[in-house]
Each structure stands twice: as C-alpha cells, then as structure tokens.
Chain A
C-alpha cells in the first residue's frame, strides 16, 4: 500500500525532534500537537527545508534516506507548501502568483486545470488584486490554489488558519478537504487545534515533545488511552456517520453509524451526506442493562474493550459495538461505579450518549 513513511531526527537549538510514523498516502493527515511539540520542524523537514537526518518515503519516492545517501532537493520534491503567514509574492497580483506555479510545473507533475482550481477556491474575482489587499482568508485560498497548480505530490499546510478570521475558517477548511478529495492530493495538515484536525483529518499523527506519540486513523488515535489522558476533560471519540433522514416533527436528524441509528438535533444536511460527530467521554454513561426510563435517546449495546485509569478516581472505558467492528466509544466513569457494575474488559454493557457535537459535514 502506498504510504507516507517518516523517520527523522533533528536538533534545532535545544529542541530535539525524533519522530517516526507511517500513514496512508491518501486523504488528509492531521499533524496535531501543542505549540512547541515539533510539528512545524517536522513539516519543514518533509519539504527538505530543515536540517535533519533519517528517512522520508512518499509513496514510491524516496525523498531522503541518509544511509543510502539520498536527499532530494526541496525544489525537486514537488510539495505544495502553505504556511501560516501567506507566502504570496507581494510584487505580483493573484494571477501572477498562480502563473508562477504553473510555469514551473514539470510535464511529469499532475496538471490540475487552472479554472477548476480557481473555481473551487472561489478566487475568480481576485485575479488582478495585490496580495496585500486581500483578507487573511482570501490570501490562504490563493496560496492553496497556487500550491495545487504546481501539481504537488503532497500538500503541506502549516497552521493555515492562524491568520484567518473565525467566520472564514470553516469555509477554508471545507475547501482544503474538498481540494484534497477532488484533486486527489494527499495533505498533511499541521494544527494545534483539535477542532480543526477532527473536522478535516482522515488520519492523525499526535506529536508531543518532538516525537510522534501515535499515528493512525483519526478515530483510533483520538480514542487512544494516552491521547485521552493527555486531553483530560476533553477526551472523547469520533464517530463517522451518514445522514439517513430528518424527523421534522421532533426536529431531529437520524444518522446511520457503526453503532446503529444515532439521533441528534436537526442539522442542515441532505440524506446521504457524511457527517462526523465528536462524543466526549464525560457525556457517555454505562449500564449493564438497557434502560427505557431515561431521557437519553442514543443507547448502544457494546462490548467493553479496555479500562484505563484516568485521573485519581476515574476510569476511561473503551467500547466497541457488540455486533463487532472497529468503531470506538469512550466513557468516563468513576472507578467505584465500574466496580459496582462489574465493568471490565469483555463485559457486555450499554452505552448511553448524552450529547454529541457535529464537527464536520460533507
């Protein structure tokens, strides 16, 4: 399978990066971690801009392998690069910036249609504008369009929303997700915001203290014990679902998920749309028997997969669907209650979801 495999060591001042991970070379990979965890350093190394030792394999291409003496020059890697401050050339207008990328695109690179990219980015009206006259969101749209027009084999985005106003962020994230899917460009998206990463990512690499603590599918990494401990109160699972129908009489929307039907407050989406929910562990409770006498609508028959200590008196309970499958829900319960209910690995139980937040719809 085609994958992005990275094993890199770098020393920047007193900060040491020593990160190794592999993720599928498709869709959006979130590179998530607190400020100073080494995300940007790692991204620069992927682009070939930073000093580092190790191995970088992108699908079939080896960009760096120091043992074999391979190091592809940054200009020959064909990465699309968008950083937090816009890197648009201020002495050219928007059209000039896009042309700069197209003119230098080699015949071997993917040739995305200029008008298709411009249309998708929604920047058709900005062509004659100077970069300095654009808003933060517009600048980043142009920067991403420019990166796409270079025909990249990999798109690297470094906190692209940090200089963008809150209202423009959602649209920009959607654009990144649509572009990644529509133009079939794998994306590595660096952010310290779990909301952003949860919205957009298919895979997640969690960085801490210069190393890649976990890498894998978004749902797996987010539901991991270490990650949950690190998040503390915000620990929770990600549930992907598909809109089945709306129930207008109750103003609810019914979703199909790996857990069965999931009912949430009415959302703006069409049947068939894919949505992503975030279910915090503190919003999930557990019982040994189904319970009809409760306000909670979403109750699922589950199998307890693991129990990990969380804080002094709590347990983080990991559950998978009783009927089988890899989906994961997390519940935060008191150790005392778990003992009373006899909840441990392998136990048969019912998970009750009190609240779920919609994080993404496409």
Chain B
C-alpha cells in the first residue's frame, strides 16, 4: 500500500468509528420510539429511515451537496453561524455517512427493542425502576444481539460506501478520500495490483465481520436455551 492508501485506510476507519458512535446515540432513541409508538406518523418515519436502503447513494449525496453547500438552505445558515465548511470536509462525510447507514443501525435496534416483552417493562416499572433505569437494566441487556448487529452493520456499511462520499466529500487525498474511492482511483489509473490489495482487503474485512456477528449470535442462542 502506498502512502495515500494508508491515509485512506485511517480516514475510513475514523469515519466509520465516528459515524457508528453517533448513529448509536441518535439511532437508539429513534429505534425505541419506532418499536414502541403507535403514533400515526410512525409509518412515515419508518419509510424515511429505510429510504437509504433503496435510494441510489448518488441521489442522497447530490441533495446533501445542494443542502449543505455554502449556498444551500442548511449550509448557508450553518456558515453564517460560524460553522466550518460542511461539503468536501470530514464533518460533511460524517453527516452523509450517518444518513446512508441509518437504516443499518436503526432497524436491528428496532427489531431487538420490539422483542422485549411488555410485561418485563411493566415488572421493572412496578419495581420502581424509572425510564432510563429500566432501559439500561432490562431493555439493553435483552437487546445486546441487536446492539451488536447494529454496531457491526453500521460500521461495515460505512466502510463500504462510495456514492455519497464521492458527492459530498469529493476525492481529496488525506481529507475526504476513503478506501473505496482510493480503489476507484487505482482502477482508473490501471494500477490493478494496488486495486487488488484494497479490494481483497475490504472483501476479507466484510466477511470476517459478518462471520463474527453470526458466530456470536449463535453462541448466544445456545447459551439462552
């Protein structure tokens, strides 16, 4: 791997880490609400969350570029308030990645939260556990498989993104050039050996991560019986 590839590797790792951490923070209350609410706007919110699953990443990236750019509806206000430039920067990459990977974090959490029996929540409440206490001591431990799945899928999916980052981040080595884009550059320049290194690395990484999740969940199943 050349120097640029190593920088791309670090950047990708940092982006996936930050994105996953923020998504868990934002996605947990959202998933809890989706799992428990019977509000009539819930289907709409669910559809919005699932949108990145079916939308071409370039569509998402294009609208983000338009909205977050210095002249965009959000970007102009943000910069007027003294915020740093969002497009073609790390913060922009994080925002794009969060939207792109949102369903991969929210859906496993929502499924796990929804599977926690209502009667256990009632039992905890009547033992005088407050909402947060109840969530921490009953819901999270019973949802650990969902949390693990959400974390791994969120991380791996962010590592593998291309279209969104290209649109909103561009291709700036060391600043916004992530692995998948570095790989694309190698192919464009016909550097197939370097391209193979990155492609095979990403392939192996994805497989090992999924293998770990399935193996861990299986072990859990056995232990629960």
Taking a contact as CB atoms under 8 Å apart, the answer to whether B141 and A78 are in contact is no
Across the A-B interface, the 9 shortest Cβ-Cβ residue pairs: A87-B123, A81-B126, A104-B128, A91-B141, A75-B128, A87-B119, A75-B125, A101-B127, A74-B125
Residue in B127, B130, B137, B141 whose beta carbon sits within 8 Å of that of A150 in the complex: B127
Closest A residue by C-beta to B141: A91
Report how many residues on chain A are interfacial, defined by Cβ distance under 8 Å: 25
Q: Is A104 touching B127 in the complex (CB atoms < 8 A)?
A: yes
CB of B125 to closest CB in A, whole Å? 5
Q: Judging by beta carbons under 8 Å apart, are B119 and A83 in contact? A: yes
Contacts between the two chains (Cβ within 8 Å), count: 55
Cβ contacts under 8 Å, A106 to chain B:
128
Q: Does A85 contact B (CB under 8 A)?
A: yes
* B119 with A76: CB separation less than 8 A: no
Q: How far is the CB of A309 from chain B (nearest CB, A)?
A: 44
> B: which residues have CB within 8 A of A?
119-120, 122-130, 133, 137-138, 141-142, 224
Q: How far is the CA of A36 from the CA of B133 in the complex (A)?
A: 34
Cα separation A83 to B124 with both chains bound (whole Å): 13
| A149 CA / B52 CA spacing, docked (Å) | 49
CB distance from B68 to the nearest CB of A (A): 42
A74 / chain B contacts, CB cutoff of 8 Å: 122, 125-126
Main secondary structure of the interface of B (DSSP, over half): helix
A146–B127 contact, CB under 8 A? yes
Knowing A89-B120, A132-B224 touch, does A79 contact B142 (C-beta < 8 A)? no
The answer to whether B141 and A75 touch across the interface, beta carbons within 8 angstroms, is: no
Chain B contacts for A77, CB-based, 8 A: 126
Bound together, the chains give a CA A305 to CA B158 distance in angstroms of 83
A47 touches B (CB below 8 Å): yes
- Does the CB pair B128–A87 fall under 8 Å? no
Question: Which chain A positions have C-beta within 8 A of B126?
Answer: 47, 49, 74-75, 77, 79-81, 150
Residues of B contacting A85 in the complex (Cβ-Cβ under 8 angstroms): 119
Give the residue of B127, B129, B133, B142 whose beta carbon is less than 8 angstroms from that of A90: B142
Chain B nearest Cβ from A190, distance in angstroms: 15
**Which residues of B are found within 8 Å of A105, using beta-carbon distances?**
128
- Listed A/B pairs (28) with beta-carbon separation below 8 Å: A47-B122, A47-B126, A49-B122, A49-B125, A74-B125, A75-B125, A76-B128, A77-B126, A78-B128, A81-B123, A83-B119, A85-B119, A87-B119, A87-B120, A87-B123, A88-B123, A89-B120, A89-B124, A100-B124, A100-B127, A100-B129, A100-B137, A101-B127, A104-B127, A104-B128, A104-B133, A132-B224, A146-B127
Interface hits, A141-159 → B, CB 8 Å: 146, 150
Interface centre among A76, A81, A106 (most CB of B within 10 A): A81
B124 to chain A: which residues have CB within 8 Å? 89, 100
Chain A residues whose CB sits within 8 angstroms of the CB of B123 once the complex forms: 81, 83, 87-89
Interface residues of A in 58-87 (CB under 8 A from B): 74-81, 83, 85, 87
Instruction: List chain B residues, Cβ under 8 A from A88.
Output: 123
Of listed B119, B123, B124, B128, residue having the most chain A CB within 10 A: B128
Q: CB-CB < 8 A to B129: which residues of A?
A: 75, 100, 104
Q: Are B128 and A150 in contact (CB under 8 A)?
A: yes
Question: Which chain B residue shows the least CB distance to A150?
Answer: B127
B137 cross-chain contacts in A, Cβ below 8 A = 100
